C-alpha cells in the first residue's frame, strides 16, 4: 500500500506510538517541562532573586541587567570595606570601578525618569482603548475641573 505525501505528514504519522502509554513524551503540540529555550535552563541553574524594596522594580531590573549585577556591585564595596576595616587605603581599582558603576546607575536613573511621560502616555493610550470610562475617571482624579457639573 502506497501512502501519499499528505498522509505521511499527518499528525497521526508523526505522533509517537508510545504516546498513550507515556503521556509526557511524543505530544508535539504541547509544551513539556524544560522544553523551552536555553534561558529557561539558565534560570533553573542560576535562580533569580527578587528583592521587594522601595525602588521601582523595572528600574532596578534595568540597572542589574544593563549596568552591574548585584555581585558586580558588591565586589568593589567588599574590597573597600575590608581595606578600611584593616586601616588600609581603599584599593584604587575597586574605587574606580565603584565610581564608574555609580555614574552608570545615575545615567540609567535619569534616562528612566525622562521616559516617565512616555510610559504614562502608553498606559493612558491602552486604557483609552480598553476602558474609556476608567480613563475619564482617572483623569478626573487628577484634574477635578474635568468632572461633569
The pLDDT score that the predictor gives to residue 110 is 92
pLDDT, average across residues 125-131: 93
| Lowest-confidence region among 36-45, 68-77, 108-117, 128-137 | 36-45
Query: Is residue 111 a contact partner of residue 104, using CB atoms and an 8 Å limit?
Result: no
Residue-range domain boundaries for the chain: 57-114, 116-149
Query: Is residue 133 a contact partner of residue 140, using CB atoms and an 8 Å limit?
Result: no
Residue 31 DSSP label: P
The pLDDT score that the predictor gives to residue 134 is 92
Among residues 77, 69, 78, which one has the least CA distance to residue 104? 69
pLDDT at 126 over 70: yes
pLDDT, average across residues 112-135: 91
Which conformational region is residue 26 in: left (phi greater than 0), alpha (psi within -120 to 50 degrees), or beta?
A: left
Between the two ends of the chain, the Cα-to-Cα distance in Å is 81
102-135 as b/e: b if 16+ CB within 10 A: eeebeeebeeeeeeeeeeeeeeeeebeeeeeeeb
The residue count for the chain: 149
Among residues 81, 48, 44, which one has the least CA distance to residue 64? 48
**What is the residue whose three cell numbers read 504516546?**
19
The pLDDT score that the predictor gives to residue 13 is 52
The pLDDT score that the predictor gives to residue 114 is 87
pTM of full prediction above 0.75:
no
Q: What does pLDDT average to over the chain?
A: 78
**What is the dihedral sign for C-alpha 24, 26, 31, 36?**
positive
- Written as nine digits, the cell of 145 is 475641573
The whole-angstrom separation of Cα 76 and Cα 95 is 7
Residues 24-77 have pLDDT tens digits of 555 555 555 555 555 555 555 555 556 566 678 888 888 989 999 888 999 999
pLDDT, average across residues 129-145: 89
Amino acid at each position: 500500500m502506497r501512502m501519499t505525501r499528505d498522509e505521511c505528514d499527518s499528525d497521526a504519522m508523526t505522533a509517537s506510538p508510545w504516546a498513550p502509554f507515556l503521556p509526557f513524551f511524543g505530544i508535539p503540540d504541547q509544551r513539556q517541562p524544560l522544553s523551552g529555550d536555553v534561558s529557561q535552563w539558565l534560570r533553573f541553574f542560576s535562580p533569580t532573586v527578587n528583592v521587594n524594596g522601595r525602588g521601582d522594580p523595572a528600574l532596578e531590573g534595568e540597572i542589574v541587567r544593563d549596568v552591574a549585577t548585584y555581585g558586580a556591585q558588591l565586589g568593589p564595596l567588599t574590597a573597600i570595606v575590608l581595606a578600611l576595616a584593616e586601616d588600609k587605603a581603599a584599593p584604587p581599582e575597586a574605587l574606580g570601578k565603584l565610581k564608574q558603576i555609580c555614574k552608570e546607575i545615575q545615567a540609567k536613573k535619569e534616562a528612566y525618569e525622562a521616559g516617565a511621560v512616555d510610559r504614562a502616555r502608553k498606559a493612558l493610550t491602552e486604557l483609552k482603548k480598553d476602558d474609556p470610562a476608567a480613563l475619564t475617571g482617572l483623569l478626573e482624579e487628577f484634574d477635578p475641573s474635568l468632572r461633569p457639573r
